Chain A
Amino acid sequence: MKHRVGLTILFSLLCLGAGPNEQAPSKQSVSESLAAKPITLQPLQVVYRQVEGTYLKSPRGVWVDQVRNEIYVADTSNDLVAVYDAAGLPVFAFGYNQELKEPTKAIPDSKGHILVLNGIPRVVKVFNYRGEYINDFPLVRKDPKSAPTAIAVDKNGNIYVAIGGDTGGQIQVYDSNFQLLNEFGKKADGTSRLKSVHAIAIDSDRTIFIVDATATPAIQVYSPEGSFLRGWGAHDAGPQNFSLPAGLAIDGDGRVIVVDSLRHTITVFSKEGTFLGRHGGLGSQPGAVAAPTDIATNGNEKIYVVERLGSRLQVLQEQTIAAITRTRIAPLANLEREQIRRGLGDIMKGMK
């Protein structure tokens, strides 16, 4: 009996960790370590309505305007872009005058325009803040068969457009006046690292994260100047890989969160590419996803996911597992460990 108790206690000790007691981390290291910690995603809200009287059909793109706290959802079946407030209430929608055909993404720029990635034909259309069409974005296209496939804006107002074509893809960077500043995505030999860019996200340091549906690595990270830094993920089996990665976002702690349309998953990585966990799963209940097509964050802990098959926008709340462990469980664990050590010592004495 004593042996069994002793083994149980020993096992408990191992589970709790018999190493030195945890030291309180510094503020800076908290932020860095949080980015590498797994999270859970709690469903907060499910939005089916597009505007009064109409509903989302095949939402393809979502973007959060972190300045105005508004959410932009592009719906390819309704040929509309819907704008929601932070509470998920519809504010307005535009595209009613048939200016849009299968829009896949809509983002506001730093000058009050709304840039919409149109599906047919593939162009970027510029609207004013009221949703009135102004003109087409003056994309620089060297290959007439090339076309834009993804778009994003950074905190400085620079606009990033992924251009795809027969010879591969690349990223073009424009300033807020729509002037071309930079192009990147090619190797030294001139071949492209990119094939089918589906989404671009830029973190607070202006590091650029790209998800490519068919290239390897699927997630590619570039410096603000466009130098390739690292990449991870492939079209392969395994939870850290993808079938059809469709969108990605960077959360407030720097985690990279990717949705996969065919696997119906929301996969979380550290910004270095360490796999942290998967969420979602096919379904229509809150928290499940059905063919998720894009993801965005508000820069804090709210995650927004749109689903082509689910025909909805979901708002999810991040909860950091590591934070809970450190603030609540760890002190108790230390106390328990001490009690167990003492108990184990008594048992060992008895055994002798």
Chain B
Amino acid sequence: MKYFGIAVLAAIMVLAGVAAGTAGEYHSGQSLLCYDCHTMHFSMQHGLDGSAGPVSNTPTTGGNWLGATGPNQFLLKAPANTLCLGCHDGKSFAPDVLAANGGIGTTNRQAGALNNTSGATPYETYKGHTLDSTDTPPGFDPAKIGAPATWYNPASGLECISCHAQHGPATSYRNLGAYALGGAATAARPTYVINGTNDPTKDVWINLTPGWTAGNPPATPDYYDQSKVSFNRNDATVSSVKTSNKLATFCAACHANFHGGPGDTNIGASAAALDGFIRHPSSQVAIGAAAAQLYGGHSSLSRFVANTTKVKVAASDRTAYTDASPICVTCHKAHGNQNPFGLVFLNGNASSQDEQGGLATGQTASLGVNMRNLCGQCHGQGN
């Protein structure tokens, strides 16, 4: 009886937690119901009318079943990626995140496009984040941001919820910061503001008016358009990872060994000199500052400011860009695109950017030239 009481108490606490939790920016305003994704009972052996069938006892492809006759983990009605893509692939009311944009509105998605393990041209698996991939993330060292070493298990395959906290909190940009990060999630969740006026204390500014209320994003595809999204410079050190923006901190949860500025050991240099520099600084370096222009002008603020197709840097000043610092999404699309590694191959002559980097109409893609143009956004040499 005592155990029964404890079990009931535990159940009440779990339910209370669910009720008190605020769904995130994606789902709260759109009124997703628990029932949309979860089934309430373990058994799924009977039909909707109570008959013995016909409901399969066999997991659907990619399913992760709790038992021979049970449902998916977390009582999900289907594997997590399948559920997410049910709304986020080719629907008119939710952002399309897989491959080409079949939704309504912009094609210039800030995060670009995911591919999957069966990804076909032009969205092959090496062109961005690959759903269901079992590869270990390059530079995987979660301890660097204080996350549990086992927070991400590559063998389970990459899921949407590996990065996005599907229930919120609404204060995190795109619901980033998976629950499995544990206590490190708070440090890795980029904050944001949606308004016509920037709030430099937030990591991300989505330039849309009117403003919004928590959990109710503007009902417009522009919300996801790269032209509306800017990143503020908010230097922070989380454990041993230095970043200019929490979005980069979040990337470090998987790709920690790509992070830091000149002098940081985790990009291969000593604190005393840049001689050991083996990786591109990803944060806390100001384009145009003296330290960034060592060795004959590795970067050039004037060059960056002059470019018409600016890459996305973290900067507090959007006119002079005096503290502009590169972050992961400066060169990569978070989801991916049609280029290797999701790189944004900017074309210097293009008047606008797209997910691939702004090839003008009729231009032929040339990886070498366009890669040079991407580097040329900040670097003057040879360009």
Contact = CB atoms under 8 A, between A and B. Distances in A.
Contacts of B222: 166
B47, B91, B221, B222 interface centre (most CB from chain A within 10 Å): B91
A158 interface: no
Given A102-B100, A261-B86, A281 B47 contact: yes
A120 B33 contact: no
Given A278-B49, A282-B60, 20 more contacts: A43-B54, A102-B90, A119-B102, A122-B102, A122-B104, A147-B92, A149-B104, A197-B92, A213-B91, A243-B36, A244-B86, A264-B77, A281-B48, A282-B55, A282-B78, A283-B55, A285-B54, A285-B55, A290-B60, A309-B60
A286 B105 CA distance: 38
A291 interface: yes
Given A236-B33, A237-B35, A290-B60, A196 B93 contact: yes
A81 B186 CA distance: 47
A196 B82 contact: no
A298 interface: no
Nearest to B85: A308
Interface residues of A, number: 48
Interface string A95-113: 0000001101000000000
Contacts of B77: 262-264, 282
A273 B83 CA distance: 28
B221 to A, nearest CB: 7
B153 interface: no
A161 B33 CA distance: 30
A197 to B, nearest CB: 8
A200 to B, nearest CB: 14
A220 to B, nearest CB: 15
B101 interface: yes
A187 to B, nearest CB: 17
Contact of A277 (B49, B53, B87): B49
Contact of A279 (B37, B48, B82, B83): B48
Interface of A: 43, 60, 76, 101-102, 104, 119-120, 122, 145-147, 149, 164-166, 195-198, 213-214, 235-237, 243-244, 261-265, 277-288, 290-291, 308-309
A309 B54 CA distance: 16
B302 interface: no
A164 B55 contact: no
Interface of B: 30-31, 33, 35-37, 44, 47-49, 53-56, 58, 60, 77-78, 82-83, 86-87, 90-93, 100-102, 104-105, 219-222
B176 to A, nearest CB: 24
Contacts of A195: 93
Give 10 closest A-B pairs by Cβ, nearest first.
A283-B56, A196-B93, A285-B54, A119-B102, A243-B36, A283-B55, A287-B54, A149-B92, A284-B56, A120-B100
A214 B93 contact: yes
Nearest to A122: B104
A165 B104 contact: yes
A196 B48 contact: no
A213 B93 contact: yes
A132 B127 CA distance: 33
A252 B82 CA distance: 34
Contact of B90 (A43, A60, A278, A309): A60
A165 to B, nearest CB: 7
Q: Binding site of B, secondary structure by majority: helix, strand, loop or mixed?
A: loop
12 contacts: A102-B100, A195-B93, A197-B92, A213-B91, A214-B93, A235-B33, A262-B77, A278-B48, A281-B47, A283-B56, A288-B56, A290-B78
A104 B100 contact: no
Contacts of A149: 92, 104
A302 B35 CA distance: 30
A287 B37 CA distance: 21
Contact of A102 (B93, B102, B104): B102
Contacts, number: 112
Contacts of B82: 291, 309
Nearest to B220: A166
A243 B93 CA distance: 13
Given A278-B48, A278-B49, A164 B104 contact: yes
B35 A284 contact: no
Given A120-B101, A283-B56, A166 B78 contact: no
Contact of A196 (B44, B92, B105): B92
A119 B220 CA distance: 19
A264 B60 CA distance: 13
A286 B53 CA distance: 10
A244 B53 CA distance: 23
B36 A262 contact: yes
A120 B102 contact: yes
A164 B219 CA distance: 12
B221 A166 contact: yes
B67 to A, nearest CB: 16
Contacts of A265: 48
A243 B49 CA distance: 19
A280 B56 CA distance: 11
Nearest to B35: A237
Nearest to B107: A121
Nearest to A197: B92
Contacts of A43: 54
Nearest to B118: A77
B142 to A, nearest CB: 32
Contacts of A261: 86
B104 A214 contact: no
Contacts of A101: 100
B36, B101, B219, B220 interface centre (most CB from chain A within 10 Å): B36
Given A243-B36, A285-B56, A291-B86, A164 B100 contact: no
Given A244-B86, A262-B83, A282-B44, A214 B105 contact: no
B173 to A, nearest CB: 22
A277 B221 CA distance: 36
Contacts of A235: 31, 33
B93, B220, B222 interface centre (most CB from chain A within 10 Å): B93
B221 A244 contact: no
Nearest to A279: B48
A145 B104 contact: yes
B104, B221, B222 interface centre (most CB from chain A within 10 Å): B104
A243 B30 CA distance: 11
Contacts of A120: 100-102
A101, A102, A282, A308 interface centre (most CB from chain B within 10 Å): A282
B60 A284 contact: yes
Contacts of B58: 284
